[in-house]
Chains A and B, each alone.
Chain A
Amino acid sequence: MAELSVKHLLGIKYLKEADIQLIFETADHFKEVINRSIKKVPSLRDITIANVFFENSTRTKLSFELAEKRLSADVINFSAGQSSVKKGETLIDTVNNILSMKVDMVVMRHPSPGAGIFLSKHVNASIVNAGDGAHEHPTQALLDSFSIREKLGDVAGKNVVIVGDILHSRVALSNIFALKLQGANVKVCGPRTLLPKYVESLGVKVETDLRKALNWCDVANMLRIQHERLDISYFPTTREYTQQFGVNKALLDSLDKEIVIMHPGPINRGVEITSDVADSKQSIILNQVENGVAIRMAVIYLLASKIK
């Protein structure tokens, strides 16, 4: 059978279209597995995985951990908050210490862009990027595309708009790479201050009018306003942002067609989307979370099969 063209999952940028399809086909099987009464398979019983999180995370960490456990891997968790990083240890030292305990794979989240790429060149383990600064969050983009494929049958040819803070978003960048690779049409929408200056060079179009963008799209992926990353004022007030770029039920119902609403979570209810939109039947937000486990199982399974 086909195998992944990469040894690590560092970003969507390094994947080929065939890799994405292989991950999706494998995830289809794992989705069936996690809906059984016994949701666990013994495939990775001789693999040990370290989840190394230098930045806060709830759902990604839970999702990875669950995926690893469903595959019967041994799991160790590491959070920078309670570690020797605080005592001045370097990234390579930290990870090499973990690897000395015979760990085969490292799932890492780190605030610095490129941390995973750096690590993959210096340590002998399979690296999965679980988010590196404002760079990439590949498993999120994979589960987003997988959810679109599940809902609409295919990703190719679909119109997808990504709304919100594109500038600071690793979810946006990974999604743009993934969607373009699969032949979707992508627009980004948000305040000019939160759109990267050269974003169009990635092959996406810019739309600053939310209503126009929503009328064009099949799927709207609503990003969270990440207050923790907004070092300066990019828009006057949250209230003004919501009025211009928030989706509410009235706006959704006034569109020409029924679009699909996605959100990578955690939702700021009442900011990017209102509660009635988040909980409407057009929203596939909770499907995304379920698919996240299946996608991460597929990624880990396929990468682990390359560990000799």
Chain B
Amino acid sequence: MSQKVLLSSKEINIILHRLACQLLENHLDFENTVLIGIQPRGTFVAERLTKILKEEYDVKHINLGFLDITFYRDDFRRGEKTLAATQTKIDFLVEDKKVVLVDDVLYTGRSIRAALTAIQSFGRPAEIELLTLIDRRFSRHLPIQPNYRGRQVDAINDEKVKVMWEENDGKDVIYLISK
């Protein structure tokens, strides 16, 4: 097994700032927009973006939620293990709001498909966009593409993209791991 650094801490920071600016361009004051981090690891991206938008771009208030998609996945009973849920925390209605789904890695698109179903349990959004830090090209099983992407990578199927965060894993870094 070998791993190489795909993005360093500095590069991640630059990309997050760019994504924050792109969000600002389309949503300006975030009055009618909500950010939804997809559990378990999209939440870190969503939290970072929220922090940058509030502290560096003076956005007063951002509705930030976390969405668990476990019960909406299409591989229940198909793997060896029981699927474990994580916390969903959405303290606001998404009815008529612009929803931005945030995840770390976009791969087959199946998680996003599940998230699109799951978010409807909280109302009917005006529109839904997708932001993803890493977009693995040519690996989609479903017709799903991001509106905002951090970095596009070509990774073959038995390679893995691992995103690590300082608050959870000790440092910010993204690895490409091959078997």
State the A residues within 8 Å of B (CB).
Answer: 1-4, 26, 29, 32-33, 36-44, 46, 71, 301-302, 304-308
CA distance A308 to B78 in the complex (A): 8
Check B77 against A38 for contact (C-beta < 8 Å).
no
Interface residue SS majority, chain B = loop
Partner of B68, one of A29, A42, A301, A306: A29
Q: Is B72 an interface residue (CB 8 A)?
A: yes
Q: Is B121 an interface residue (CB 8 A)?
A: yes
Q: What are the residues of chain B within 8 A of A301 when measuring CB–CB?
A: 71
B51–chain A nearest beta-carbon distance, Å:
25
Check A33 against B83 for contact (C-beta < 8 Å).
no
Check B121 against A306 for contact (C-beta < 8 Å).
no
Name the residue of chain B whose CB is nearest to the CB of A72.
B71
CA distance A1 to B76 in the complex (A): 13
A selection of 6 A-B contacts at a CB cut-off of 8 Å is A1-B82, A2-B82, A3-B82, A37-B122, A42-B117, A305-B83
With known contacts A41-B72, A307-B77, A308-B77, A26–B120 Cβ distance under 8 A: no
Check A32 against B88 for contact (C-beta < 8 Å).
yes
Q: What are the residues of chain A within 8 A of B122 when measuring CB–CB?
A: 36-38
Q: What are the residues of chain B within 8 A of A4 when measuring CB–CB?
A: 82
CA distance A39 to B93 in the complex (A): 14
A271–chain B nearest beta-carbon distance, Å:
41
Partner of B88, one of A1, A29, A40, A71: A29
Q: What are the residues of chain A within 8 A of B121 when measuring CB–CB?
A: 33, 36-41
**B67-94 interface mask toward A, CB cutoff 8 Å, 1 = contact, 0 = none?**
0101111001100011111111000010
B135–chain A nearest beta-carbon distance, Å:
27
Name the residue of chain A whose CB is nearest to the CB of B74.
A42
Check A42 against B72 for contact (C-beta < 8 Å).
yes
Partner of A306, one of B71, B82, B84, B88: B82
Check B82 against A41 for contact (C-beta < 8 Å).
no
CA distance A71 to B71 in the complex (A): 8
A131–chain B nearest beta-carbon distance, Å:
26
Report the 4 A-B pairs with minimum CB-CB distance, sorted nearest first: A1-B84, A41-B71, A38-B121, A29-B85
Check B81 against A43 for contact (C-beta < 8 Å).
no
B95–chain A nearest beta-carbon distance, Å:
9
Interface centre among B68, B76, B87, B88 (most CB of A within 10 A): B76
Q: What are the residues of chain B within 8 A of A42 when measuring CB–CB?
A: 71-72, 117
Check B82 against A43 for contact (C-beta < 8 Å).
no
Q: What are the residues of chain A within 8 A of B71 when measuring CB–CB?
A: 29, 33, 41-43, 71, 301
Partner of A26, one of B73, B77, B85: B85
Q: What are the residues of chain B within 8 A of A37 when measuring CB–CB?
A: 93, 121-123
Name the residue of chain A whose CB is nearest to the CB of B90.
A36
Name the residue of chain B whose CB is nearest to the CB of A36.
B121
Beyond the given pairs A29-B86, A37-B123, A306-B82, 15 more chain A to chain B contacts, judged by CB atoms under 8 angstroms and listed by A's residue number, are A1-B81, A1-B84, A2-B82, A3-B81, A29-B87, A32-B88, A36-B121, A38-B122, A40-B121, A41-B121, A42-B72, A42-B117, A43-B73, A305-B83, A307-B77
CA distance A304 to B82 in the complex (A): 9
CA distance A29 to B123 in the complex (A): 19
**B120-143 interface mask toward A, CB cutoff 8 Å, 1 = contact, 0 = none?**
111100000000000000000000
CA distance A239 to B87 in the complex (A): 49
CA distance A42 to B86 in the complex (A): 16
Name the residue of chain A whose CB is nearest to the CB of B86.
A29
With known contacts A29-B87, A36-B122, A44-B76, A305–B82 Cβ distance under 8 A: yes
Q: What are the residues of chain A within 8 A of B83 when measuring CB–CB?
A: 1, 305
Q: What are the residues of chain A within 8 A of B68 when measuring CB–CB?
A: 29
Q: What are the residues of chain B within 8 A of A41 when measuring CB–CB?
A: 71-72, 121
